Homo-oligomer: A and B are copies of this chain.
Amino acid sequence: MPELKPLFEPKSIAIIGASSKTGKTGNIILRGILDHGYRGKVYPINPHEDDIYGLKAYPSIKYVPGTVDLAIIAIPAPVVLGVVEECAEKAVKFGVIISAGFGEASDRGAELERQIVEIAKSRGMRLLGPNSIGIVNSSKNLVITIAPFETWREGTISIIAQTGVFAGAVAHWVMQTQYFGIGKSVSLGNKCDLDEADVLEHLWRDSNTRVVGVYLEGIRDGRKLMNIASNATKQKPVILVKSGRTEAGSKAAASHTGSMSGNDALSDAAFKQCGIIRVENFEEFMDLLKAFDYQPLPKGNRVGILTLSGASGVLATDICTKLGLSIPKLSEETKKRIETTIMPSWQPASNPVDIWIALGNGAELAHKTALNALLEDENVDCVLAILLALSPAAFNIKKVFQKAHEKHPNKPIVVSIIGGKMARQWFKKLEKIRIPAYLTTASPERAAKVLHAMYRYKQYLERSERIITKTSLQDHLTNLNHVTCYHSNNE
């Protein structure tokens, strides 16, 4: 496997096509590198400019005085081949080809890709793209993207995507409306050389990455990916969206990134086997990424539901049950505690714990009592809390949830919040203390799906461990056998 350190932590970058003209791709990329505080050497390459933002510009990479780890290539497709040749001669380690108009556009473009790879490989240069929109490594202030960002929040979620949208609009969504960060983000593009498996291998060993998210349209080398994923998923969860499920979708993928989608059912089985968590859409993808990043895995599938909306409690019960999670009976102690502390005399407690009627005794007491009682119940593995962001239900949400989570750090909590402006404030407060919250119209579905995925992953890890243990035991027995045979032979 290629050593990707110079790609993620380059000591020097050349931007081929760098420009002082705002709006130009080569301008956006250069400014992004400078604005985010990249600390290595930056070489703008442009035959028509001498100086860009105070940096000396070179007419070609061959005139750059020092070595170049990484070349960003943002020039029209027809001239890319020559430039890659120059880069290869200069012993550039990695090239990121931003330019489009290759395999996704025509057969001629696909042929051009092959030639480019051949030249690069002959000199040991590796390529990302073409049709990539960049690469981010926030721990090194490296933000290379054609979509400008004001700030990029660091984090322990990393993304591999065969498309630009994750370093573009989706990353804007994350940075401007969410509170988690993204450590590394790689836009694979057409994958003429480096593919998802190469990057996954790097992220698997990356101590700054806790969770990996992958978006694919096609798979370059199924066996290679499965091999790496089987190991990676035992260390950290890998969440995947794979499009091209239908024939029409495959055709669309072919004209987007020149991908062949292959048989979707086969892919599905393969993903499952190697522990990849496949989800249907990007919303679920993000929902899971942050939950896995924030919270521990549940020990089992028994969900304690706290709700301020009876309707949402019923819906949560439906969806959990359908997913194969269980809504256990509460212990007598838990019930008694809830009933005597917050409920009117006529209201028995059950799971879901509907605390609407308990608001009369104060919203904070109601939430605190129900949340802690559920977490302390030995019949409950995790808590799904459905909150209504309404003034009669207002309470110190940060204090209550932080204390409860600190007291019970091994039981995951996920929260569904219903409401308007106040809901957004609550969302922020919870996310800041790493409790995953989902703003919904009134549907606990997203939160339930998150718990389900966490439970399934926990099962996968346990199964893998059992298999490993079993294998070790067999090895051990086999060895023992050998020894025995040896002895008997000697006797």
Contact = CB atoms under 8 A, between A and B. Distances in A.
Interface of A: 23, 28, 77, 100-101, 104-106, 109, 146-148, 161-166, 168-170, 172-177, 215, 217, 241, 243-249, 251-253, 255-257, 280-283, 285-286, 308-315, 317-322, 327, 344, 346-348, 350, 352, 354, 356-357, 388-392, 418-423, 440-443, 445
A13 B379 CA distance: 48
A287 to B, nearest CB: 9
A391 B309 CA distance: 40
A393 to B, nearest CB: 8
Number of copies: 2
Contacts of A244: 314, 318
B441 A321 contact: no
B442 A318 contact: no
A313 to B, nearest CB: 6
Contact of A314 (B217, B350, B418): B217
10 contacts: A101-B344, A106-B346, A165-B312, A168-B309, A173-B420, A245-B318, A252-B352, A282-B440, A282-B441, A283-B440
Contacts of A282: 315, 440-443
Nearest to A174: B420
A283 B318 contact: no
Contacts of A280: 445
Contacts of A246: 317-318, 321-322
A356 B347 CA distance: 58
A175 B256 contact: no
A390 B314 contact: no
A217 B309 CA distance: 13
A119 to B, nearest CB: 21
